[in-house]
Homo-oligomer: A and B are copies of this chain.
Amino acid sequence: MPERLVVIGGDAAGMSAASQARRRRPDDLEIVALEKGSWTSYSACGIPYLVGGDVASLDDLVARSPQTFRDAFRIDVRLRSEAMAIDLDARTVEVRDHEHDRTYALGFDVLHIATGAHPMRPPLPGIDGADIHGVQTLDDAAHLLDHVTSKQVDIRESRVVIVGGGYIGLEMAEAFVRRGADTTVVTSTAQPLNLFDPDIGELVGDAMRAHGITVRCNERVTTFEETGRRTTLVHTDAGDPPIEADLVVLGMGVGPNAGLARDAGLATGDRGAISTDRRQRTSAEGVYAAGDCCESFDRVTGRRVYVALGTVANKQGRVAGINIGGGYATFPGVIGTAVTKLCALEVARTGVSEREAVEAGFEYVAVTIDSTTRAGYFPGTQPIRVKMLAEKKSGHVIGAQIIGQEGAAKRIDVIATAITAGMTADEMTALDLSYAPPFAPVWDPVLIAARKAAEALADAGQA
């Protein structure tokens, strides 16, 4: 009898682990993957582009179908199959087969938990209303897409309210306004994109408003009131009148689906996410976890953090799969990199923001520079602003934010790499970055920011 690996969750963190394990153990491992929904390995990050019309069909978001995993990887993928409980002593998972309406126990030798995340639904009256949706699964996507393409509803007569001003909320707002909906974002923070500093968030808010989106900041939703006339009244702490919505989208972030693991006795940490070591091993022997249900380690602050991103899920899943397959791999952590495109604005961050720097106890300098994405004289050159933070004592770059037009944001990756390597701002000034007029000014904006940070450090007496 070969050993059996049971994977709970058929998206990135689960299936990348399963396929890595298969590559390393082609013959002596049985692999069963349980997925409670109807899809595997899909890009939830693509949902706003599906709703906005950039992506033609829901199927485009599926990277690998269940059949591909069955045929090419010999993985027994079981759809509509939900893990209800884990018994670590008996080494079994209780599986609810929604398709055939039955429950059975599935034994495992090795278990990999990749149960993902769920949209945050604060306990507000009415939040479970029928017209209130998250943006997390392809089932959510199908509902939202149905709304914008429905023959019964003219989307151009529809009022959409997005609750939350993070990436996903703003991306959804842009998607709906592109479809012609009357779109409002309500956020409790002073600016949208709270993971950025206010000076960047303010520019984003301005761009959203210029694009026709109503952005209401410093405002908390208190109640969702169903009227029975297909309209939800969204009450906020700004008082009357409430905002009328034909559709409400929750973009208030996500939380880990870690209940199953916690109930089984596995250790959890930040925001209740499953704790793992660097090899993605949980507190129980032979049990791994990866992705949106797990904690990560922040390499800049040294803290355990909860980060639900597809890149992290894929990396952690791969690491888990290599280790399950008998290899050795570690996931050293994240540094808070993220990027989004909003109304022609590209916005990216890495490392810590000013608020996070303060929280982590860093003494730092912060500089901001304005430049262009190409040589100033080259056609198609676009504005770019780079903000950079460096620690006073060490000179290390600890964070950066970029905002600009086409060609701006991906430059964050250079700074992410430099932060990971522990480079100082002064060391960054000498980086041999590529230059030709169609690609950059002779001093790349990243280098200009590093120069200014190095000068600020010198002025602060920490040359």
Q: Which residues of A contact B (CB under 8 A)?
A: 12, 43, 45-46, 49, 54-55, 60-61, 63, 167, 299, 309-312, 314-315, 328, 331-341, 346, 348, 350, 375-379, 407, 409-414, 416-418, 420-423, 427, 429-440, 442-444, 446, 463
Contacts and interface: CB of A to CB of B under 8 A. Distances in A.
Q: Which of A55, A311, A315, A412 has the most CB of B within 10 A?
A: A311
A286 B445 CA distance: 32
B418 A434 contact: no
A443 B314 contact: yes
21 contacts: A45-B437, A45-B442, A54-B379, A60-B377, A63-B376, A167-B436, A310-B435, A312-B432, A331-B430, A332-B430, A339-B435, A339-B436, A341-B436, A341-B439, A346-B439, A348-B434, A413-B413, A414-B417, A417-B417, A417-B431, A420-B427
Contacts of A427: 332, 420
Contact of A420 (B45, B412, B432): B432
Given A341-B439, A412-B434, A421-B422, 8 more contacts: A45-B437, A45-B442, A49-B437, A54-B378, A55-B379, A333-B432, A413-B413, A416-B431
A45, A414, A429 interface centre (most CB from chain B within 10 Å): A414
Given A46-B377, A60-B377, A442-B311, A420 B416 contact: no
A407 B339 CA distance: 15
Nearest to A336: B432
Contacts of A309: 435
Nearest to A23: B455
B46 A437 contact: yes
A433 B418 contact: no
Contacts of A49: 378, 437-438
Contacts of A378: 46, 49, 54-55
A410 to B, nearest CB: 6
Across the A-B interface, the 3 shortest Cβ-Cβ residue pairs: A421-B421, A339-B434, A60-B377
A338 B439 CA distance: 11
Contacts of A443: 311, 314
Nearest to A315: B430
A373 to B, nearest CB: 9
Nearest to A46: B437
